[in-house]
Amino acid sequence: MDFKKYFEAKKGLGILSTSDKKGKVNAAVYSKPQVIDDKHFAFIMGDKLTHANLKDNPWAVFLFKEDGPDYQGKRVYLKKESETDNQELISRTCKSVYPETYCQTQYLKNSFLVTFVVESVLPLVGE
């Protein structure tokens, strides 16, 4: 699947779900991923619950519901590959995706760029 074209063409709502080492689940609203290639996504995230969960459990699901009346979208199953707190790289990545007003230092302070491997993809509804 060409994720770059897909996410450029579609608007919608993204939810990133993680769980801790005991299986307690968290879901958080996230923007579209930074698509590195068809097998790798990256997200900029603060040092909050989602990030904490990924320290203990590398598995996550990104659910994307496309705008519109139907239940169109994707469920993307991910495994954390790496992360960095390199603020220059985080800022460059942010500016490549978002308007510069969102990429100011005060908003990116204490954030991480987390890279995932795409393990599998399913439609939003059904198989």
Domains of the chain and CATH, by start: 3-121 (2.30.110.10)
Position 104 scores a pLDDT of: 79
Position 96 scores a pLDDT of: 81
What tens-digit pLDDT sequence spans the chain (127 residues)? 899 999 999 999 999 999 999 999 999 999 999 999 989 999 999 999 999 999 999 999 999 999 999 999 999 999 999 999 998 898 888 888 777 777 877 778 889 999 999 999 999 998 7
Position 109 scores a pLDDT of: 83
Quick check: helix, strand or coil at residue 64?
strand
Position 92 scores a pLDDT of: 86
Rounded (5°) CA angle 36-37-40: 70
pTM of the complete model:
0.91
Q: How far apart are CA 9 and CA 14, in angstroms?
A: 14
Position 20 scores a pLDDT of: 96
Rounded (5°) CA angle 52-28-35: 90
